[in-house]
Structure 1
Amino acid sequence: MAFPSMKRFFDPWHVRIRNLLKVAQGRPVALVVLFGLSLLNLCSEWPSDIARPAFVDTLDETLPDSFKTARQILFDQYQRHYPRIPTAQPVTIVEIDEETLATAGQWPWPRNRLASLIDAIAALKPLAIGLDIYMPEPDQTSPDKVAGNLPETAAALAAGLRALPSHEAILARSLRAAPTILGAAALDHAAFGTRTDLRSAPIRVHGTDPLGYVQHFDYVLCSLPELQAAAHGQAMLSVALEQGVVRHIPLITGLREKLVPSLPIEMLRLATDSSAIDVFADTSGVQAVGVADVLVPTQPGGDIWLHFASIRSTLSRYVSARDVMQGIVDPERIRDKLVLVGLTGAGVTDMRTTALGELVPGIEIQAQVIETIVEGRFLRRPTWLKWAECAFIMTFGLLIIWYVPRPQSRFAVFIKAVPKGVAALGIGLHLLNLLFCFFIFMRFGLLVDAASIFIILSAVMGCFLSPALLSLGEQTRTEAAHTPGREDDNDRAGKAP
């Protein structure tokens, strides 16, 4: 004879779950689901205005990307269905493309050849020239380097070569004569050629020190000091990658104990002849980054969500470096423009995937940041929006827990009358939620997390629908087992040789 407790232990799993969900009409389980999933959602995007407890890091390690992946996919879909349509073209990209490499030679070029390109661009009067290029090592084709490799029998030739200006000196002269900015790459580890400092424009902080909130690095791969001293600015080229996709871009970055600007914001500083960049921060993080009369609202980490335009709509901004060097480019493509110089030829490794799912050159992303700032069309996900989402989820979750289990409620009567209508009603409500959030994205540029709302409220609702579905499944299996035709089939199967 089996003990009752042992019988309950060996009950099928669906029976145990059904019995658990029947306790107090499923409200305790629904409350645990509501608060548990809400906590996971909050931990996956912890608000910067509250100190991050240790258990949040533990949860992130135990359940990584619990809601983050769904949120990112949703925000990507917002952009794919409503990409930004450029209304201005403040940027021209001078691309070192396949045609340029075929004409001028393979990359990397001798520095004097790059100087010729900068001189040709500067002659057309751009507002600023940003180089998506860093040069941490001396040019081995420079006359002094070539002289050092000559045999002793060519002493006269070596002396003549050493008398010539180095390629670095030639490039430095071109950088000094034009409104140029050199790019640099941030690294979190030491490597050959890395440094711990960067010559950059002053950053004025208004309010709380934002260094603890921004993306922070200890090392930078930048150009030689001689070139840094000649250029009119240096800036970071780094972008934030999430699962290999670029979604947001830092406007300022921490390098050890100082703040340094990104290339787009530094180009705007130089173009407006401003002496410094302004950063506005409070206890919740960075609120805005400004230069001259332009103020860019940011995320607490000093970055912006970038509303991407399709590469198909921005191809007109590209000019071949070959055409610039040969003097056949329309001067209006360069005059009073912010010019970016970078590589796009085959074999270039600086290719990035955008939220639109397009693979574009890294320099295109820098151009889109500048374009977005000039147009003033920003995507925002402020801290208060996260709290608003949490309040909405908790309010409607508690309303579901209070109302749905009531036996005489209209919802209960509806379920009994039209069982299949529950699925249609749920799909309709979630579709309405998604459409409303998408409308807010299009109208106000706010990134509302409809995915978390859907996941959490669906799970809470499932706590009340699951017992009915489990009972229906058990009833179906019982009826099938006692169907006469099924018994005859079982008998025939047992008698078969």
Structure 2
Amino acid sequence: MRLIPAKWTKTLLKYGPRWLLGVLITAAGVLYTLNLWDSEAVARFDNLLAGERMKLEAPQLDPRIVIVDIDGKALTEFGRFPWSRNVQARLISQLTGHYQVKAVGYDISFPEPDTSSGYGVLEKLSNRELSDVPALRQKLAELKPSLDYDGLFAAALAKQPVILGFNLSPDQVKGELPKPLFSEQDLNGRELTAYNAPGYEANVPVLQRAAAGGGSFSVSTDPDGIVRSAYLIQQVGDKYYPSLSVATAGLYLGALAIKPLLTESVDQLSQNQLDSGGYDALTFLLPDHKQRVIPVGEAMTTVVQFRGTGGPAGGAFRYVSAADVLTGRAPPALLKGTVVLIGTTAPGLVDLRATPVKAEYPGVEIHANIIKSILDNRFKSRPYYAFALEAGQILAIGLVLSFALAALSPLRSILLGVLVLAASFGLNYYEYASLDLIYNLAMQLIVIAAVFVLNVAWGYFFEVRKGQALVSRFGEYVAPELVAEMADDPEKYNMDGESRELTVLFVDVRGFTTISEGLTPKALREYINLYLTAMSEDIRDSHRGTLDKYIGDAVMAFWGAPVAFADHASRAVATSLLMQASAHRLNDDFVARGWPPLKIGIGLNTGLMHVGDMGSKIRRAYTVMGDAVNLGSRLEGITKVYGVGIAVGEATRAAAPEYAYRELDLVRVKGKNEPVAIFEPIVLDKELDPAARSELERWHAALAAVRAQQWDQAMAIIVELQALLPDRSLYSLYTERIAYYRAHPPGVDWDGVTTFETK
């Protein structure tokens, strides 16, 4: 007893190896996504795709955030950097007073006192070498306010919305840190994982105490040296400090407090905010009692959404030269009510970072991007279930491609591969751009490519080579789709001789000798080429026939081999009707060109034939032979006698009963003793209109009367039919035949058969 059907076994043997390899590739992709194995190359590919995906979002200028740039122009006008703090004091006074900005963040620290005024040197002289000059001490006392640059800067900072930046350092402790956001004690024993810096380089106390707050401008750099994320909170000792972007955004929003929001307490968050699940969140408590929630990742980081390629010409933020602010040249409308970040893009000041979108990206603009995300309340985050969704997508795509590509043609495989690839890119980008969700794509693309390449390579090395021989043998005989079908199972098809029931067709041009004499050689070539092309397309392409040969202006074809069709007779009849329609169309064109009219006769017959590769050592062809073939050829010639376009044998009529037929006669062709009924196919029986059906019934009644030698009855019917259709040659033929039989009665033993002595 067979447990597996033979068809299944055959399919499994044919496609099984490819299926297995495709499933193994898919499994490897799923295991990688579930972190059961690792690959640095795949991780790099993911990073590359993430950068390219980020570049697709066109930046839009955000008027709320302005970067005051210490650029080459500012250095030219106000000297080399670092500037004396009296210049910084003037800059802050301009921004907060004249331009009325809402918040300022310094992407610069001031860890050392400013002694550039020379006041300290003069004070030492007055206390030592020139201590006996009272006037000097008095003058210094008068000048001190204007020469104490730190004091001037601190005075400018006092009670103004300015955040000073500081840097976390692993090897030093310098300056004074700002007031922390909270401490470990405030967490009440809850654990909050953040980067814990062993040291820092902060601002001198007099400046930090005068400022509204401080924030770290340190960023998170990946092992490859590229900045992809940034710390929002960092730890020094048992205290937690904000980043420059968080502190500046909080100042702009007027936040009453900035504190961590642990996952267990996020009942009030929206689903979009909860997508950061598994990590803590950072919340801004705003004056209107609302919360601004920032989803954070490991170590209190956020993914930086880089907008554009950065800098004055390629980003989402307006740059204003510090020189234009100091001199008042900048239009007030550009700065009023904005968040200002003070930084530098001047060459040599080394504040350029490597990012996914550009190798040299202004560091100050990293903070600007984070501030924009806070103000927009939109963050790109990787949800906690990302790995499961990615694994599911890889599994589904890998299995579909593994099973589908093995069975599809090369063109369809390419179309499916491109479609799946485009869908993967499109879905991933939609999730990123519209839903703000980050999913890795590299392994999915690798699985798609690997399964596709596997099937293409397999198809070439194992399938195409077998199919090439088949194509070379049958390609000129049968339609391309039949060759493709045969190529799926090439062992099933060969050119060895065999006997099959087939249907053969012969078609010939009426009066071709006269036509050839009336045309120039060039016109005759075009005439015959157009005719043969139309007939061949109808045979091979429309109804999947096998084109056997051209015999001058004649065409020979058959149905049922090499690919077997149970309905080969129906296909042949349908083709013959189509060929007559094509001939009428060509005739209209030929007459319009001034060429002789085109008329064709078609003979069809069904029966047992020998089919295979036949011929000599010099030339061979895939063809059919036998009595049934000869009768088909005779029927083509007989069409001229009966004035019809198509004549088919009785076996063809029986094998294609869905058509309506007009019986023509009982004939005995040359070379055969047995009479054969011959018919003219008209149309599908269901499409025969009532008038045509009535005509057909009356004609068959007349034919029966002829065979019964009831000449008057037959003639009466035929005369009526001729009155309706005077151009039908068949009625004229039988009118003449009845007149002959009246003059020469055939006798009581007449069998009603017409014998043809010529081919």
Query: TM-score under structure 1 normalisation?
Result: 0.73
Q: CA deviation at 1:321?
A: 1.9
1:329 is aligned to 330
Aligned match of 2:295:
298
In structure 2, which of residues 94, 107, 114 is the aligned counterpart of residue 132 of structure 1?
107
Residue 371 (structure 1) shift = 2.3
The correspondence for 1:84, drawn from 51, 54, 59, is: 59
- Output the CA distance in 1 between the equivalents of 2:410 and 2:253: 66
Measured at CA, do residues 178 and 239 of structure 1 come closer, stay the same or move farther in structure 2, by a change above 3 Å?
Answer: same
| Deviation sequence 1:34-72 (CA, Å, 0-9, x none) | 4444333343xxxxxxxxxxxx8xx66xx4x24221112
Q: Provide the C-alpha distance between the structure 2 equivalents of 1:472 and 1:216, rounded to a whole number of angstroms.
A: 61
Q: Which moved more, 1:216-225 or 1:198-207?
A: 198-207
Alignment of structure 1 residues 7-406 onto 2, 5 Å: 25=17, 33-43=25-35, 63=39, 65-86=40-61, 88-124=62-98, 125-147=100-122, 153-155=129-131, 156=133, 163=141, 164-165=144-145, 166-187=148-169, 189-191=170-172, 193-194=173-174, 198-202=178-182, 209=190, 211-212=192-193, 214-242=194-222, 243-282=224-263, 284-292=278-286, 293=290, 295-301=292-298, 302-310=300-308, 311=310, 312=313, 314=315, 317-357=318-358, 359-397=360-398, 404=403
How has the CA–CA distance of structure 1 residues 210 and 40 changed in structure 2, closer, same or farther, with 3 Å as cutoff?
farther
Q: CA separation in 1, counterparts of 2:347 and 2:316?
A: 17
Aligned equivalent of 1:495 = none
Measured at CA, do residues 419 and 27 of structure 1 come closer, stay the same or move farther in structure 2, by a change above 3 Å?
closer
Q: In the superposition, relative to structure 1, how do residues 82 and 343 fare at CA in structure 2: closer, same or farther (>3 Å)? A: closer
Q: What is the match of residue 479 of structure 1?
A: none
Aligned to 2:445: 454
Q: Distance in 1 between matches of 2:341 and 2:230?
A: 17
Q: Tell me the amino acid that sits aligned with residue 76 of structure 2.
A: A
Q: Return 349-358 or 118-127, whichever deviates more.
A: 349-358
Which stretch of the first structure deviates more once superposed, 74-83 or 465-474? 465-474
Deviation at 1:355, TM superposition (A): 3.2
Alignment partner of 1:443 out of 434, 437, 442: 434
Question: Which deviates more from structure 2 when the two are superposed, residues 302-311 or residues 342-351?
Answer: 302-311
Structure label with greater radius of gyration: 2
Structure 1 residue runs of 5 or longer lacking an equivalent are 1-21, 44-55, 405-409, 477-497
SS of corresponding position for 2:262: strand
Using the alignment, how far apart are the partners of 1:396 and 1:457 within structure 2?
7
Helix, strand or coil at the partner of 2:343 = strand
Contact 2:54 2:306 in 1 (8 A): yes
- Tell whether the 8 Å contact from 1:38 to 1:456 is kept in structure 2 after alignment: no
1:295–1:247 CA distance, 2 compared to 1 (3 A): same
Shift of 1:30: 5.5
Matched residue type, 2:320: V
| TM-score using structure 2 length | 0.50
Distance 1:96 1:360 in 2: 15
**289-298 vs 235-244, greater mean Cα deviation:** 289-298
Task: Indicate conservation of the 8 Å contact 2:175/2:204, yes or no.
Answer: no
Per-residue CA deviations over 1:112-155 (Å, capped at 9, x if unaligned) read 22112212222132212211110112223254543477695445
Question: Contact 2:405–2:452 (CA<8 Å) still a contact in 1?
Answer: no
| Distance in 2, Cα, partners of 1:471 & 1:393 | 27
Q: Which has the higher contact order (CA 8 A, sep 6+)?
A: 1
Distance 1:211 1:197, change over 3 A: farther
Q: Compared with structure 1, are the counterparts of its residues 96 and 419 closer, same or farther at alpha carbon in structure 2 (3 Å cutoff)?
A: closer
Counterpart amino acid of residue 286 in structure 1: D
Supply the AA of the counterpart residue of 1:246. Answer: V
Give 1:160 shift: 6.3
Following the alignment from structure 2 to structure 1, what is the Cα–Cα distance between the partners of residues 187 and 160? 31
Instruction: Summarize the Cα distance change of 1:268–1:420 in structure 2 as closer, same or farther, 3 Å threshold.
Output: closer
Q: Distance in 1 between matches of 2:228 and 2:432?
A: 15
Query: 2: CA distance between counterparts of 1:132 and 1:388?
Result: 39
Q: Report the equivalent of 1:8.
A: none
1:96, 1:345 within 8 Å by CA — same for their partners in 2?
A: yes
Question: Is the 8 Å Cα contact of residues 68 and 322 (structure 2) preserved in structure 1?
Answer: yes
SS, match of residue 249 in structure 1? strand
Q: Name the aligned partner's letter for residue 299 of structure 1.
A: V
Let me know the Cα RMSD of the aligned residues.
Answer: 3.7
Hey, what's the Cα distance between the residues in 1 that align with 2:457 and 2:251? 62
Q: Distance in 2 between matches of 1:207 and 1:153?
A: 59
Using a 3 Å threshold, how does the CA distance of structure 1 residues 306 and 460 change in structure 2: closer, same or farther? same
Matched to 1:449, the amino acid is N
Deviates more, 1:130-139 or 1:327-336: 327-336
Shift of residue 24, structure 1, vs aligned partner = 7.5
Deviations 1:156-178 (A, max 9, x none): 59856874253322222222232
Kindly indicate whether the alpha-carbon contact (under 8 Å) linking 1:93 and 1:341 is maintained by their aligned counterparts in 2.
Answer: yes
> Structure 1 residues 103 and 354, CA, compared in 2 at 3 Å: closer, same or farther?
same
Does the 8 A contact of 2:229 with 2:303 survive in 1? yes
Whole-angstrom distance in 1 between the partners of 2:337 and 2:54: 30
Q: How many residues align?
A: 425
Alignment CA distance shift 1:289-1:303 (3 Å): farther
For residues 196 and 384 of structure 1, the distance between their equivalents in structure 2, rounded to whole angstroms, comes to 42
Shift of 1:288: 4.2
**CA distance in structure 2 between the aligned counterparts of 1:413 and 1:263, rounded to whole angstroms:** 58
Change (3 A) 1:253 1:316: closer
Superposition deviation, residue 274 in structure 1? 2.8
Change (3 A) 1:139 1:239: same
Q: Which moved more, 1:194-203 or 1:66-75?
A: 194-203
327 and 35 in structure 1: CA distance in 2 versus 1, 3 angstrom threshold: same
Do the aligned residues in 2 keep the contact of 1:199 with 1:228 (CA within 8 Å)?
no
Shift of residue 180, structure 1, vs aligned partner: 1.3
Tell me if the contact between 1:89 and 1:371 (Cα under 8 Å) persists in the aligned partners. Answer: no
For residue 40 of structure 1, what is the amino acid of its counterpart? Y
What is the Cα deviation at residue 468 of structure 1?
A: 5.7
- Say if 2:176 and 2:205, in contact at 8 Å, map to a contact too: no
Name the % identity.
24
Q: CA deviation at 1:221?
A: 1.7
SS of 2:434's equivalent? helix
Q: Secondary structure at the match of 2:329?
A: coil
For residues 286-336 of structure 1, give each alpha carbon's deviation from its aligned partner in whole angstroms, at most 9, with x where no partner exists: 234334245243232333333333343658722222222223333333322
Gap runs ≥5 in structure 2: 1-13, 265-277, 468-759
Contact in 1 for aligned 2:178/2:209 (Cα 8 Å): no
2:150/2:207 contact within 8 Å kept:
yes
Residues 420, 334 of structure 1: alpha-carbon distance in 2 compared, 3 angstrom cutoff: closer
Structure-2 separation of matches of 1:282 and 1:85: 33
